[in-house]
Chain A
């Protein structure tokens, strides 16, 4: 069954890097969002059952998106992909409900490893 996948990052290059890192043959329908507001709207429209989320974004950052997802009780799976590599940043997003934190820049190996580890492939 096709998974609605949302890639939410303010950088066009980063969105493309994530898209290029998706495992070969993974059955997903990809939507892109350039900030947290767009991302949350896509989730509300059912286009983000799985979300790859950046943290540092304009309008609404990744922490705020995670808080909104929790508040609205959306059942999406969120993996944070960020250049903010403070240990506390990882702890915070996990506390806010993210499944995992991956350091940028991402590649297919690291993304596939995480997806396999959580039984998502």
Chain B
């Protein structure tokens, strides 16, 4: 696997994703009415043989997950973002006080994913000073056991740099990860933007 990013590059990418994550966290706070605990973004270089679980090191052990995917482009390069939530925690959150949505089930996850992904990606693009274009959000799985999760077309085409941002709510079991899956052309584009930032 070719790793285009030096340690300094990874540090800069992690910090940029930290800002994106913070924006997503604020949106999640608005959506749930609960304080959001942010993690340190985890960067991994994955090969084509990687499993979906490899993208989600920070989520820990969960029985079933719900997955929404958003394809996007920054400038000329394309990539995808996933919002993966522990399904049990989603089901509890639907009925929690302070939640701003009355949707349930897959629709609830879709709304929450839309809020989280779009806000974080907009901030990511803004910091990198790249033009963002978003495709419609797709709901790939709802309440699916790990063994039946299939993400190859979205996340694991060839060598992918993944950035996992895990969100928890301080007083709730909610557990979800936002994952940016950056294939090689996008890595090159992001790297160039990061170098401009660091100059």
Contact = CB atoms under 8 A, between A and B. Distances in A.
Interface of A: 10-14, 56-58, 82-89, 104-105
A11 B29 contact: no
Contacts, number: 50
A85 B21 CA distance: 10
Contacts of A14: 15
Contact of B29 (A10, A13, A58, A88): A88
A12 B25 contact: no
A104 B19 CA distance: 7
Contacts of B197: 13
B183 interface: no
Of B8, B21, B29, which is in contact with the most chain A CB atoms at under 10 Å from its CB?
B29
A84 B35 CA distance: 11
Given A84-B25, A86-B25, A56 B8 contact: no
Of B22, B40, B198, which is in contact with the most chain A CB atoms at under 10 Å from its CB?
B22
Contacts of B35: 86, 88-89
B38 A58 contact: no
Contacts of A83: 18-19, 21-23
A56 B19 contact: no
B43 to A, nearest CB: 12
A13 B12 contact: yes
A84 B15 contact: no
Nearest to A12: B11
A85 B19 CA distance: 9
Nearest to B23: A85
B19 A10 contact: no
Contact of A85 (B8, B11, B22, B40): B22
Interface string B24-36: 0110010000011
A84 B127 contact: no
A11 B21 CA distance: 15
B15 to A, nearest CB: 4
Given A11-B14, A13-B12, A104 B40 contact: no
15 contacts: A11-B12, A11-B14, A12-B8, A13-B8, A14-B15, A56-B18, A56-B38, A56-B39, A83-B18, A83-B19, A83-B21, A83-B22, A84-B25, A85-B25, A86-B29
